[in-house]
Amino acid sequence: MKIRVLGSAAGGGFPQWNCNCPNCDGVRRGAIRAQPRTQSSIAVSADDENWVLINASPDILTQLKSAPDLQPARALRDTGIRAIILVDSQIDHTTGLLMLREGVPLEIYCTDTVRRDLTEFNPIFRVLGHYCGINHHPLPLADGAGFTVDGIGGLGFTAVPVTSKGAPYSPGRHDADDPGNNIGLVISDTTSGRSVFYSPGLAAVDGRVYDHMARAGCVMVDGTFWTDDEMVRLGVSKKYAHDIGHLPQSGAGGMMQRLAPLKGRKVLIHINNTNPILDEESPQRAELTRAGIEVSYDGMEIEL
Ligand code: MLT
Ligand code: MN
Ligand code: ZN
């Protein structure tokens, strides 16, 4: 299978429009070595022709312009995107659906909770009903239950409920017990048996999540923050990483420690613009490199 990183940044992107933190200001002025990044999304295919879009970021149109593989041009109106899977109802993962309104109904795979959010509280699905319409495919959440995506041969999927936070506008923000708020995805190549575990929003690595990570040939996981108090210390926000459902990389029990025993490829994704790892010359980036952990970038392709 091929995984293409369409957008490797967290909400806001990098640089963020209104931010002058050392990273955003530095990349704008060319004062640091860093690459700009668009908001969180990947695409996956087993045959280079039929793609699943996983999350639809506000930057989707720019992302598709730089991914010609996703436009096979077989007909007057065409796309390589056969379906869309959503891992939550966050703004950075769903707003791009509105940019895909010109075609046939969108085939959207998401939990019933995410469907509720996008119908009642941020009614993107209802709005799309006046354009292309959507067909909702509910995701099974029971332990061990997998699913397939119509039109996507050669790939199997499992939705894994993860600890994170629902979108700020959603009742799920305050309902940590609803497993439909946030999922990670195991994507398996049914021919080779190899799998990737993708989870851009992960506040804790519980036993079940760890088992999926340990079995995967590659993990692409939450790279939002280096420290819990990163945004508070910089003065850009009063929120800590744990308030918004992200496990920081550094420190005791952090993502680096959780990844250390894994044998497969380790890639961070959904990186916030405040994170020092974006500066390719930072000591934090060097620490990751020494630990064998990669930082994803827009346009990165992984073959599994
Ligand atoms: C998050 O994952 O917490 C988001 O990136 C927040 C946002 O979309 O603004
Ligand atoms: Mn996000
Ligand atoms: Zn910034």
Closest C-alpha among 49, 71, 54 to residue 6: 54
Q: Whose CA is nearest to atom 4 of ligand 1?
A: 11
Q: Can you give the pLDDT of all 304 residues of the chain as single tens digits?
A: 999 999 999 999 999 999 999 999 999 999 999 999 999 999 999 999 999 999 999 999 999 999 999 999 999 999 999 999 999 999 999 999 999 999 999 999 999 999 999 999 999 999 999 999 999 999 999 998 999 999 999 999 999 999 999 999 999 999 989 999 999 999 999 999 999 999 999 999 999 999 999 999 999 999 999 999 999 999 999 999 999 999 999 999 999 999 999 999 999 999 999 999 999 999 999 999 999 999 999 999 999 9
What does the pLDDT read at residue 62? 98
In terms of pTM, does the model score above 0.85? yes
Ligand 1 atom nearest 40 alpha carbon:
5
Nearest-CA residue for atom 7 of ligand 1: 11
Ligand 2 centre to CA of 28 (Å) is 22
Measured CA to CA, the distance from residue 277 to residue 252 in angstroms comes to 18
Q: How far is the CA of 269 from the centre of ligand 3 (A)?
A: 17
- Identify the pLDDT of residue 170: 97
- 109 touches 150 (CB < 8 A): no
Residue whose structure tokens are 């995506």: 149
Distance 274 CA to ligand 2 centre (A): 13
Peptide bond preceding 138 in cis form (omega within 30 of 0):
no
**CB of 58 sitting under 6 A from ligand 1:** no
Q: Mean pLDDT score of the chain, rounded to an integer?
A: 98
Q: At residue 278, what is the residue type?
A: L
Which residue from 38, 92, 272 has its CB within 8 A of the most atoms of ligand 1, so it is best to mutate? 92
Question: From the CB of 91, is ligand 1 less than 6 Å away?
Answer: yes
Distance (Å, whole) CA 262 – CA 195: 14
Name the residue of 86, 90, 230, 272 whose CB sits within 8 Å of the most ligand 1 atoms, as the mutation to test its pocket: 90
Instruction: Tell me, in angstroms, the distance from the centre of ligand 2 to residue 74's CA.
Output: 34
pLDDT at 176: 87
Q: Is the CB of 90 under 6 A from ligand 1?
A: yes
Q: Is 107 in the pocket of ligand 1 (CB under 6 A)?
A: no
pLDDT at 201: 98
* All residues at 6 or more sequence positions from 179 whose CB lies less than 8 Å from its CB, including other chains: 111, 141, 161
Cross-sheet strand order for the sheet of 41-45: 134-138, 106-110, 81-85, 51-54, 41-45, 2-7, 301-303
277, 223 Cβ separation under 8 angstroms: yes
